[in-house]
């Protein structure tokens, strides 16, 4: 018996099902106030807010809810991902509209689905005018989102100095950290924002904070190759901070040598970094050799004159996976150091002893 053909859905039922699916997939609707705040239409915002009653309800808002016409909307209604009209205004730089919303009773401390407040929406693009308006309106500009980011961290990471100064004046926590342990000083150092870092240093931010990996701003600046930031930090710190070990036991010099960053390493040599620190048999010299970092090896052996084991060094060059193609140059550096050491020994033998 032949299989029966599948039943076809009636066209009107199919259309109805598709309509229901579309309605269910829609986010919370945007009312006229959301749209006006986003595009900066001050007149439309004033008209809508002027029609609101004492509770902030705006009749005849001309929006739709689940396919039905809405008759009332409030000043703090949310749209996609929990965005309020105030957040739209802050994100698009409409300070005057934000002021009107605040005067109409908008809650400026509400946060969207990601935990971002209106202040965060202003700090990320660096809109100092909007941020200043929020501070004057009494908004909490230190609120953190779900990742632990605050407007201060956002401003430091982006290098928005004007926003950073406003936040410092508002007395937010300069040492607040994200969930990964990173603080404002680390973000500024990592991005090479020298002026931002200067503001944080002069404002008294903690320069010794550590992230979840045990790294400090000094190590972050060195790892990213930001020499000026490294010097700015070390002008306020000590050699112990330069030789700080992260949770894996590595110092900034060791990380830099392994990464092949001779310019940064040369600066640390001049600062007096401990170049002979050993972790599980690894030193900066061996890390540079096994990584094929010829120039870093040159800095360490010929400029830093660190103690070394020639036999161990040649073994690392022979077996290091990253040294392929660099063997000849690495051996040349080693041979030059051997020659220098031999010459020094000969010179010492020729120099008469001053002892009686």
Q: What is the pLDDT of residues 168-223, one digit of tens each?
A: 999 999 999 999 999 999 999 999 999 999 999 999 999 999 999 999 999 999 99
Inter-helix orientation angle 327-350/310-319, to 10° = 170
Determine whether 41 is exposed, middle or buried from the number of CB atoms within 10 Å of its CB (0-12, 13-18, 19+).
middle
- Kindly state the DSSP code that residue 238 receives in the 8-state scheme: -
Euclidean distance between CA atoms 193 and 197, whole angstroms:
6
Kind and range of the H or E element at 160?
A: none
| Inter-residue contact 40 to 92 (CB < 8 Å) | yes
* Residue 62 confidence (pLDDT): 52
**323-336 confidence digits (pLDDT tens):** 556 777 777 888 88
- Are 87 and 30 in contact by the 8 Å Cβ rule? The answer is no
pLDDT score recorded for residue 53 = 46
Tokens 């990592």 appear where? 190
Q: What is the pLDDT of residue 329?
A: 76
Please state which CATH number belongs to domain 246-338.
Answer: 1.25.40.20
Q: List the one residue out of 291, 294, 233 whose CA is nearest residue 267.
A: 233
Name the pTM for this structure.
0.80
SS3 135: helix
Q: Residues with Cβ < 8 Å from 37, sequence gap 6 or more?
A: 45, 85, 86, 88, 89, 92, 94, 97, 101
Gyration radius (Cα) of the chain, Å: 31
Residue 305, number of CB atoms within 10 A of its CB: 14
Residue 57's SS3 state is strand
In sign, the C-alpha dihedral spanning 35, 39, 40, 41 is: negative
Q: How far is CA 219 from CA 201, 225, 236, 299, in A?
A: 16, 10, 15, 19
Give CATH 1.25.40.20 domain extents, the chain.
246-338
| pLDDT at residue 82, as a whole number | 87
The alpha carbon dihedral of 300, 304, 306, 308 has a sign of positive
| Residue ranges in the chain whose pLDDT is less than 70 | 1-30, 51-73, 308, 313, 315-325, 343-356
């Amino acid at each position: 018996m032949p299989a029966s053909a599948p039943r076809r859905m009636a066209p009107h039922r199919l259309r109805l099902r598709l309509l229901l699916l579309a309605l269910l997939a829609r986010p919370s609707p945007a009312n006229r106030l959301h749209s006006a705040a986003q595009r900066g239409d001050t007149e439309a915002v004033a008209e809508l807010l002027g029609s609101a009653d004492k509770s902030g309800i705006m009749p005849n808002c001309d929006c739709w809810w689940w396919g039905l016409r809405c008759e009332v909307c409030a000043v703090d209604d949310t749209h996609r991902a929990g965005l309020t009209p105030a957040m739209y205004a802050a994100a698009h730089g409409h300070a005057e509209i934000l002021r009107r919303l605040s005067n109409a009773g908008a809650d400026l401390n509400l946060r969207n689905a990601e935990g971002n407040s209106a202040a965060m929406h202003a700090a990320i693009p660096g809109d100092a005018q909007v941020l200043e308006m929020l501070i004057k309106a009494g908004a909490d500009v230190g609120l953190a989102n779900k990742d632990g980011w605050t407007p201060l961290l956002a401003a430091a990471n982006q290098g928005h100095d004007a926003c950073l100064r406003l936040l410092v004046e508002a007395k937010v926590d300069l040492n607040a950290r994200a969930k990964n342990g990173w603080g404002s000083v680390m973000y500024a150092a990592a991005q090479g924002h020298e002026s931002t870092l200067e503001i944080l240093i002069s404002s008294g931010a903690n320069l010794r904070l550590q992230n979840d990996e045990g790294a400090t701003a000094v190590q972050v600046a060195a790892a990213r190759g930001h020499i000026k930031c490294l010097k700015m930090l070390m002008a306020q710190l000590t050699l112990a901070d330069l030789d700080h070990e992260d949770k894996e036991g590595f110092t900034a010099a060791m990380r830099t040598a392994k990464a092949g960053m001779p310019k940064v390493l040369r600066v640390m040599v001049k600062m007096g970094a401990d170049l002979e620190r050993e972790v599980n048999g690894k030193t900066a010299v061996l890390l540079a050799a096994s990584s094929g970092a010829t120039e870093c090896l040159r800095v360490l052996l010929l400029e830093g004159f660190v103690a070394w084991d020639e036999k161990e060094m040649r073994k690392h060059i022979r077996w290091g996976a990253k040294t392929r193609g660099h063997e000849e140059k690495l051996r040349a550096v080693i041979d030059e150091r051997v020659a220098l050491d031999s010459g020094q020994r000969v010179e010492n033998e020729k120099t008469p002893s001053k002892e009686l």
